[in-house]
Amino acid sequence: MAMPPDAPDWREMSREELDRGLNNSLAVANSGDIVAGWEQRSLGLRKRYPAHLDLRYGPRERNRIDFLKIADRAPTLLFIHGGYWQTRAKEFFTLVAEGPMAHGINVALTGYTLAPDATLDEIVAEVHAAIDYLTRELPALGGDGKGIVVTGWSAGGHLTAVALSHPSVRAGLGISGIYELEPIRHSYLNEKLGLDEAASRRNSPVRQPTGPLKPLSLVVGSAELPLLRAQTADFACYRASHGLPVTYEEIPGADHFTVVDEMIAPQGRVTAIIRELFARTK
């Protein structure tokens, strides 16, 4: 869990350097093609499992959940999408269900209102409302009703960390997440987020006096931007220093986008960690 040796101190970076240091799409030249491929594959999977799509958990347009059932009374994983809280949608990410479903795990994916139409506080509240709805409806949908494991990628990793406090969440897995929002507040990303210092601190998991005493696994690609790798390593150190259950792992050679392959694949490392979390929290 040591800090990546190439991780700069964001406070010593110029605005241009910080913006570039957080821009995953710019760092991965073919990221647009990768995301387009995700969307196409996800469309096919949604067609295969149409029974429980766009279930409404709240009043706003994106307050919807997809539930892909592989078996009755199976455990349920909830996935929260990324996009720096301001882009993308759950429909891009249905393909991440392939890995867990191959092992008998039902998968739900939640949407949420994007910034600037919602503040980060509101987005966090929507995720908790989605979990309220999902866990209440699980018996009718075909889940085992024993609570859920939550996972998310990028901004979804942050939302996974803050969702861990929900009483129905058994464990979490953050994939290439953001856990300290102060660098975000000082970058181009804050133009839509509109964070002030108080909101940044309030919503930064690493800034809290403690955290939920539940298992949390953290993964990041070894080829990701140094600031992103530092985010995950620093949060893992925070959890360990507070005596909170945590594991930390770098996926060799993976960048911010190819790390998702490890969840799509039934034998992928992220899929294996998900299975381990379910086994630990039976």
pLDDT in tens, 121-155: 999 999 999 999 999 999 999 999 899 999 999 99
pLDDT at 2: 52
Q: What is the rounded CA–CA span in Å between residue 12 and residue 88?
A: 31
pLDDT at 17: 97
Is residue 1 predicted with pLDDT exceeding 60?
Answer: no
pLDDT at 94: 98
The fraction of the chain above a pLDDT of 90, given in percent, is 96
**For the chain, how big is the Rg over CA atoms in Å?**
17
Angle formed at CA 81 by CA 71 and CA 44, multiple of 5 degrees = 55
Write the pLDDT tens digit of every residue in 56-88: 999 999 999 999 999 999 999 999 999 999 999
The fraction of the chain above a pLDDT of 70, given in percent, is 98
* Residue that has been written with the tokens 């998702």 in this structure: 260
pLDDT-derived band at 8, boundaries 50, 70, 90: confident
Question: Which of 55, 52, 281, 53 lies closest to 168 in space, CA to CA?
Answer: 281
Q: What is the rounded CA–CA span in Å between residue 281 and residue 59?
A: 32
User: What is the average pLDDT across 187-206?
Assistant: 98
Question: Which of 191, 158, 165, 178 lies closest to 228 in space, CA to CA?
Answer: 178
Write the pLDDT tens digit of every residue in 222-239: 999 999 999 999 999 999
Q: Dihedral angle at the C-alpha atoms of 109, 48, 100, 176, nearest 10 degrees?
A: -50
Contact 123, 113 (CB under 8 A): yes
pLDDT at 3: 53
pLDDT at 58: 98
Contact 234, 179 (CB under 8 A): yes
pLDDT at 44: 96
Question: Which of 243, 220, 249, 80 lies closest to 152 in space, CA to CA?
Answer: 80
What is the CA 12 to chain-centroid distance, rounded?
28
Contact 208, 165 (CB under 8 A): no
**Mutual angle of helices 120-141 and 155-163, in 10-degree steps:** 70
User: What is the average pLDDT across 11-18?
Assistant: 96
The CB density around residue 241, as the number of other CB atoms within 10 Å, is 10
Of 4-8, 11-15, 78-82, least confident by mean pLDDT is 4-8
pLDDT at 7: 75
* Residue that has been written with the tokens 């992220």 in this structure: 270
The alpha helices in the chain, defined as continuous H runs, are 15-21, 24-27, 31-48, 98-101, 120-141, 155-163, 182-185, 190-193, 197-202, 226-241, 261-264, 269-280
**Strands of 81-226, DSSP E:** 106-110, 143-153, 169-175, 216-221
* 17-280 homologous superfamily: Alpha/Beta hydrolase fold, catalytic domain (3.40.50.1820)
Is residue 11 predicted with pLDDT exceeding 80?
Answer: yes
Is residue 213 predicted with pLDDT exceeding 60?
Answer: yes
Is residue 281 predicted with pLDDT exceeding 90?
Answer: yes
The CB density around residue 104, as the number of other CB atoms within 10 Å, is 12
Contact 16, 94 (CB under 8 A): no
User: One-letter amino acid identity for 88?
Assistant: R
What is the average pLDDT value for the chain, to the nearest integer? Answer: 96
User: What is the average pLDDT across 187-216?
Assistant: 98
